Chains A and B, each alone.
Chain A
Amino acid sequence: MDTQPIIVSASPHVHSDRTSKRIMYDVLFALVPAFLVSLYVFGISAFIVTAVAIVSCLVFEYVIQKYLLKTNITIGDGSALITGILLAFNLPSNLPIWMVIVGSLAAIGIAKLSFGGLGYNIFNPALVGRVFLLISFPVQMTLWPTAIENNTSFVDAITGATSLGAIKEGLMAGETMTEIGTRIPSTMNMLFGFTGGSLGEISGLALLLGGIYLLARKVITWHIPITVLVTMGIMTGIFWVIDPEQYANPMIHILSGGAILGAFYMATDLVTSPMTKKGMVIFAIGIGVITVVIRLFGAYPEGISFAILIMNAFVPLIDKYFKPRRFGTKIKAKILQ
């Protein structure tokens, strides 16, 4: 007591063991199963793309913070790491390395640090990176390696379209769903990940596992992911009932493309999602609707990244209008017996 003075601070004097670092590492852990599946399916190239994305995100954050912004360096908080992984998960595993680096720069430099760093970004950095690449390099971004079981080859020779891409092309060419159905992977294969697509989005099951872990650890709540998927299911279901030959069934829509990855990992990003439960539901419904509209009527086969980014822009407005109910604003006169 003589050497160190007693500390005085305002209450509370205890703190929960939940830290932002722990949240970040929970997310990281939840992404492991999906990463393993993608390693199994796409082989070493999946690892390379992920590693490059992580390293370049960390390096860009360090360099920009140190030399450009001259602020504290925050690469240790895990957020750039997650941005890197999520960006990689949204890229085809055969994307040229330099494009991955460009995407990382867009994610960290444009979407995150130029807005003020962690907590201030309006848009999900990983998605900004992906959309930036998709618009800049549409050809490379939509050439997907075909899934090969237990892939060990270094270069993916065979490339093809995703199921959603195949459906879109087929329908444009005037085919019916029954005809297309023979060419796209079965629902079971989609669940386990034997399907074309971005690195991390292929296995619905692995992503769901991670999602359940996040729910159990209370990193995310059910409001956003479940509402997104339910909205998508209902909307595609309605069209499917109207004309099953022109519209794919809801199961295909939910399992293919980035729906599950988007719903559980991208839309739930703490920074770019609303603060209240009510707001989260509204936000998620918006994502579901926009995604389905883009998928069914838009130019792109997949729309969840655009949908999330569009709804990100609405978050401040949602936060302003959907506030928690203040205690004492509804008087209940129920008497306990």
Chain B
Amino acid sequence: MQESILNSVILLSSLGSVAAVVLFVVSKKFYVYEDPLISEVEDILPAANCGGCGSPGCKAFAEKLVNTEDISELFCPVGGNEIMAQVSSILGKEVVEKDPTLAVVRCQGGCDVRPKTTEYQGPRSCAISSIIYSGETDCQYGCLGDGDCVQVCKFDAMYMDINTGLPVVISDKCTSCGACVDACPRGIIEMRPKQKRDLKVFVGCLNEDKAGIARKACNVACIGCSKCEDICPKDAITMTNNLAYIDPIACTLCRKCVEVCPTHSIIETNFPPKKVKKDTAEKKVNVESVKINTDA
């Protein structure tokens, strides 16, 4: 009995020692040199592996940052200027400051304002249904409502509003990685530079149809009336194909366009004096909220 215990102890210990020696030799022999800077940079990066920078992951991006001479083109949208400044101090390379951006949903055609004229049957995916036809409503530009953008978001920064059937961006969580922009077959999600104090004024519509057709399909469609373009004091609004676009850089957030828009298709968010909680303010992407805003 004792002998067999002794035997097994000896056997196992010697096996362990041999294995340790082998491992040691192998790790020495096959050691691959890696620039210590890479792991240093990687530690700073947000480790979200979202792909927003264009590289497949944070490690790959760190390698790219270390190995590229001129990194002014590279930017981590999740970390933002702060992280990029740290990277710059480690690597001693110059980085370009970029305006922080945020995803906004440029459609407010919820169930109540944009009636469904057909019923779609098939896989619930915007990418698939957009191949088959132009969507359940008569608007061929707006949100399809199957939530590809929500599915693709790695930061839980989006959700589908049950009442409107539209996606909503949670500004605090959005890292502007751009995954939703790529996922949307209609291109209704736009990365807009953050304006002052996170205030936003933008056109919540992409409909290029003529006024009558656009209005018939959706109550809050941009009908291309040019009123906003005329009233804008800074010429920040341009009209192309019956559709207004507000340049976020030129916009001074005066909100004159919001008041003048006959279909309430210009969205303003996070403005005082409507002192409501922040998270509900974000949800207000439907027509009522816009109405309240203009009244106030």
Contacts and interface: CB of A to CB of B under 8 A. Distances in A.
16 contacts: A4-B119, A5-B116, A5-B117, A5-B119, A6-B119, A7-B118, A7-B120, A8-B121, A8-B132, A8-B133, A8-B136, A9-B120, A9-B121, A9-B122, A9-B132, A10-B132
Contacts of B122: 9-10
B119 A7 contact: yes
Interface of B: 116-122, 132-133, 136
Nearest to B120: A8
A9 B118 CA distance: 10
Contacts of A5: 116-119, 136
A6 B116 CA distance: 10
Nearest to A11: B132
Contacts of A9: 120-122, 132
A5 B120 CA distance: 10
A112 to B, nearest CB: 26
B118 A6 contact: yes
B134 to A, nearest CB: 9
A4 B119 CA distance: 9
Contacts of B118: 5-8
Contacts of B120: 7-9
Contacts of A8: 118-121, 132-133, 136
Interface in A1-56: 4-10
Interface of A: 4-10
B117 A7 contact: no
| Minimum-distance CB pairs A-B, first 5 | A9-B121, A10-B132, A8-B118, A5-B119, A7-B119
A8 B119 CA distance: 6
A7 to B, nearest CB: 5
The A contact surface, by secondary structure, is: strand
Contacts of B132: 8-10
Nearest to B135: A8
A11 to B, nearest CB: 9
A21 B132 CA distance: 29
A322 to B, nearest CB: 29
Nearest to B128: A10
A326 to B, nearest CB: 24
A324 B133 CA distance: 33
Nearest to B123: A10
B144 to A, nearest CB: 12
Contacts of A7: 118-121
| A5, A8, A9, A10: most-surrounded residue (chain B CB, <10 A) | A8
A7 B136 CA distance: 9
A141 to B, nearest CB: 36
Nearest to B116: A5
A89 B269 CA distance: 68
B148 to A, nearest CB: 17
A323 B122 CA distance: 28
A166 B117 CA distance: 73
Given A7-B119, A7-B120, 6 more contacts: A5-B118, A6-B118, A6-B119, A8-B133, A9-B121, A10-B132
Contacts of A4: 119
Nearest to B132: A10
Nearest to A9: B121
A8 B120 CA distance: 5
A7 B117 CA distance: 9
Nearest to A8: B118
A8 B135 CA distance: 9
A221 B116 CA distance: 46
A8 B136 CA distance: 8
A5 B135 CA distance: 13
B132 to A, nearest CB: 5
Contacts of B133: 8
A5 B133 CA distance: 15
A128 B118 CA distance: 48
A14 to B, nearest CB: 14
A25 to B, nearest CB: 26
Contacts of B116: 5
A8 B128 CA distance: 13
A9 B133 CA distance: 8
B180 to A, nearest CB: 25
Contacts of B117: 5
Nearest to A4: B119
Contacts of B121: 7-9
B169 to A, nearest CB: 29
B135 to A, nearest CB: 9
A8 B116 CA distance: 12
A8 B122 CA distance: 9
B118 to A, nearest CB: 5
A266 B118 CA distance: 45
A6 B118 CA distance: 5
A10 B136 CA distance: 13
Contacts of A10: 122, 132
Nearest to A7: B119
Contacts of A6: 118-119
A281 B128 CA distance: 37
Nearest to B134: A8
Nearest to B117: A5
A5 B132 CA distance: 17
A13 to B, nearest CB: 10
A10 B121 CA distance: 8
A115 to B, nearest CB: 24
A6 B117 CA distance: 8
A9 B121 CA distance: 5
Contacts of B136: 5, 8
